[in-house]
């Protein structure tokens, strides 16, 4: 089964610092997603990315956040000037073909102190 790989698995940062979370998607899957899950809470949609452009984003995905494909394969989520409430698990996901099924990575745990 192909895998979505996320790094780092855990990052601790100081409030106000910038954080970059990375995702290596399954090759040839064109839709990418970022989700966030605050500990013990629901999985929240942040943004979907298709063909190198944002296709949809939620209210959570404000100017503090940005997504990029810096080298055509990796996929990053940047959080500028982190806040305490940004502490969460961040999941990257790929869409499987036309089924709508998502393949999730294992997540990156972000702790903002």
Partner 1 sequence: SQQGEEDPQALSIQEGENATMNCSYKTSINNLQWYRQNSGRGLVHLILIRSNEREKHSGRLRVTLDTSKKSSSLLITASRAADTASYFCAGANQAGTALIFGKGTTLSVSS
Contact residues for partner 1, defined by CB under 8 A: 4, 31, 33, 35, 41-45, 48, 50, 55-56, 89, 91, 93, 95-96, 99-107
Residue 82's Cβ-count burial label (10 Å; 0-12, 13-18, 19+) is buried
The distance of closest approach from Cβ of residue 5 to partner 1 in the complex, given in angstroms and rounded to an integer, is 11
Which helix (DSSP H) or strand (DSSP E) does residue 93 occupy? strand 88-96
Give the pairing type, strands 88-96 and 108-112: antiparallel
Q: Which is nearer to partner 1, 65 or 91 (CB)?
A: 91
- Number of neighbouring beta carbons within 10 Å of residue 41: 10
Q: Which is nearer to partner 1, 56 or 68 (CB)?
A: 56
Say how far apart CA 71 and CA 80 lie, in whole Å: 20
Q: How far is the CB of 29 from partner 1 (least distance, A)?
A: 13
Nearest to partner 1 of 2, 16 (CB atom): 2
Q: How far apart are CA 33 and CA 54, in angstroms?
A: 10
CB of 87 to partner 1, least distance (A): 14
CB of 112 to partner 1, least distance (A): 18
Nearer Cβ to partner 1, position 28 or 99?
99
């Amino acid at each position: 089964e192909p895998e979505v790989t996320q790094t780092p698995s855990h990052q601790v940062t100081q409030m106000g610092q910038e954080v970059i979370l990375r995702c290596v998607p399954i090759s040839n899957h064109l839709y990418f997603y970022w989700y966030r899950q605050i500990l013990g809470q629901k999985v929240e949609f942040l943004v979907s990315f298709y063909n190198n452009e944002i296709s949809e984003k939620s209210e959570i995905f404000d100017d503090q956040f940005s997504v990029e494909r810096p080298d055509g394969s990796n996929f990053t989520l940047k959080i500028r000037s982190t806040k305490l409430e940004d502490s969460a698990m961040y999941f990257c996901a790929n869409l499987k073909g036309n089924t709508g099924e998502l393949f999730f990575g294992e997540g990156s745990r972000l702790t903002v102190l």
